[in-house]
Chains A and B, each alone.
Chain A
C-alpha cells in the first residue's frame, strides 16, 4: 500500500519561515499568551495580593500602624461594622442616594440632550465642544470651582439667587444641603458622558422602524416610547453601568468640596470617603478593610444585577 500524499491544505511552517530562528518560531507559536500575559500579570499583581491582604486585615484588629502586631479576631469587625448605625449605615445610605439620584438625573437629562442633538443642525460642532469640556476637566478642579460658586458669602450661586429675590442658601456648608449640592456637581460633570454614549447609540440605530412608525401616524412621544427607547435600551444599560460604577466610587468631588472626613457632620461621607478616612486619617486598618470588602461586594452585586438585566434585554 503506497502512502497517500495528503494535499497541502496550508503552507507548512517550514515553507513560510525558512530563515526564522528557533526563538522567534517559539514566540510566534505562543504569541497568544506572550501578548496577553504581561498586562494580565501586571493588573493581577496589583489586585490579587492587595485584595487577599485586605480580606486578611478585615479579620484582624490591625490599627495604628500596618507594621504593628495585630490579632486575628474572626468576624468581629464584620459584626461591628454591620451593627454600626452611626457611621457605616448612614454612609451606605449616602452612597446609595448619591449614586441613585445622580444616575437618575444623568440618564434623564442625558437622554433629553442626546435626543436634541440627534438630528443634524447648525452649530453642532460648538455644542459638542461644550459637552466635552466638563468631561475632560480635572474632577478636583471642578470641585474647587463649584466650591467658589457655592460659597455662601461670595459665591455666584447666592448672588444669582439675590438677583431674583431669593435669600442665600448654605449649599455645601449646610448639613442637609451639602449632599444634594455635591450630587448637582456630579450631574454637571458627568451628564455629558451619558449624552455621548446615548448619542452614539442613537446614530447607530437603523432608520426603518422610525419611518414605519411615522407612516403609521405615531406622535413624536409615541415614536420615542415605543420605537426609539426599546431599541436604545442596551445602550442605556451600558451608560448606567459605566456611570453607576464611577458614581459609587466618587471621591474627588467630595474631597475637593468638603475636605477630609466628609464634613463636620459627615454630611457627604459616602462609603468611599468613610473607608479612606478610616484607612489614612484614623489608621483603623482592620475596620477599614472590613468596610472595603463590604463596599466591594456591593459594587460587584450591583454590577451583577445590571449585567444580568442587560443579558435579559439582549435575549428579548
Chain B
C-alpha cells in the first residue's frame, strides 16, 4: 500500500514536469507575440511586461497575412476534399479485396523523401506554367494527404463487418449501392478522422509550398520567413506569425482530440 501512494506521488510530479515541458515553450511563444521587440530583448521583462497588439497589426496589415491565411485554408481544404474523394473508395476496395500490393503503391508516397520528387515536378509543372498557381500546390499536398487517408481508412474498413453490406445486397442493392448507402454513412467517424489529420498535415506542410508556391499563393508556413531578414529578425512579428499559424490547429485539436489520436495511432497496435 505504501509503495502505491509513493508511486502516485512520483507519477504526479513526473506528469506535471512532462506537461510543463510541452506547454511552457508554446506559452513563451505566445507571450513573445505580445511583446515589443525591446521587451523581448530585455530579460527582466521575461515574465512581466505590458502586452501590445502591435505585432499582430504588423502581421495582418503589412505582411498581407490575410491572403496567406486564405491560401493555406484553400490549399488544405481542397487537398483534403480531393484526397478523400480518391482515397476513401480506394481504401474500401483495398480493404475488401485485400489488395496489399496496390496499397503499397499508394503508401510508397509516405516513404519517399519529398525532395527527390520536387526537381522533376518543378521542371514539368513550370513547363506547363502551373508553378505559382494553386493547382500544383493542391496536387503536391494531395500527395501527402492521400496516403494518410488510404492508410487510416483501410484500417477503418478492416474493422467494419461486411455482413450489413451483404444483407443490403440480398435486399436488392447493388454492391456499389450498398457501399454508398450502408458503408459510407457508417464510415463517417473514420472519414472525419482521416479528413482532420489530412487537413492538419496539409496546413503544416512546408517543403512543397516552399518550392511550388508563388508570391500570391504562399501558404502560412512559407510566409513565416518574411519576418526573417538577412541581418536581423523581427522577433515580435515572427512570434505573432507563428502564433497565427499554430493557434487554429491547436484549437481544432482540443475539440477533436479523440479523432486525432485515433488517426495517429491507426494500425499501430495491429503489429
Contacts and interface: CB of A to CB of B under 8 A. Distances in A.
Nearest to B8: A121
Given A32-B99, A141-B221, A280-B211, A197 B268 contact: yes
Q: How large is the interface on A (under 10, 10 to 19, 20 to 34, 35 or more residues)?
A: 35 or more
Interface centre among A126, A133, A197 (most CB of B within 10 A): A133
Contacts of A142: 246
Contacts of A117: 15
Given A16-B169, A314-B271, A249 B114 contact: yes
A132 interface: yes
B164 interface: no
A313 to B, nearest CB: 8
A239 B93 CA distance: 27
Contacts of A123: 15
Nearest to A146: B25
B48 interface: no
Contact of B40 (A38, A146, A154): A154
A54 B86 contact: no
Interface string B88-132: 011011101101001001101111111111111111100000000
A40 interface: yes
Interface in B234-250: 235, 238-239, 241-243, 245-246, 249-250
B113 A296 contact: yes
Interface stretch (B26-34, B52-60, B186-194): B26-34
Interface string A296-312: 10011001000000100
A238 B210 CA distance: 30
Main SS class of interface, A: helix
A46 B46 CA distance: 48
A163 to B, nearest CB: 10
A203 B138 CA distance: 38
A39 B268 CA distance: 23
Contacts, number: 278
Contacts of A259: 228
Interface stretch (A99-107, A170-178, A287-295): A287-295
A127 B15 contact: yes
Interface stretch (A80-88, A222-230, A271-279): A271-279
Given A28-B174, A43-B108, A54-B119, A235 B271 contact: yes
A94 to B, nearest CB: 15
A49 B120 contact: yes
B160 interface: no
Contacts of B18: 113, 116, 127, 130-131
B62 interface: no
B236 to A, nearest CB: 10
A35 interface: yes
B11 interface: yes
Given A136-B249, A188-B25, A201-B269, A36 B113 contact: no
B245 A133 contact: no
Contact of B206 (A129, A140, A197): A140
30 contacts: A17-B172, A24-B176, A36-B102, A43-B109, A54-B120, A67-B123, A113-B18, A116-B11, A127-B15, A129-B253, A136-B249, A137-B249, A139-B206, A145-B29, A145-B239, A145-B242, A148-B235, A193-B264, A197-B268, A204-B269, A235-B269, A249-B113, A251-B206, A280-B118, A288-B119, A295-B116, A296-B116, A299-B112, A303-B111, A313-B271
Interface of B: 8, 11, 14-15, 18-19, 21-23, 25-26, 28-29, 32, 40-41, 43, 46, 86-87, 89-90, 92-94, 96-97, 99, 102, 105-106, 108-124, 139, 142-143, 146-147, 150, 169-170, 172, 174-176, 179, 200, 203-204, 206-207, 210-211, 220-221, 224, 228, 235, 238-239, 241-243, 245-246, 249-250, 252-254, 257, 260-261, 264-265, 267-269, 271
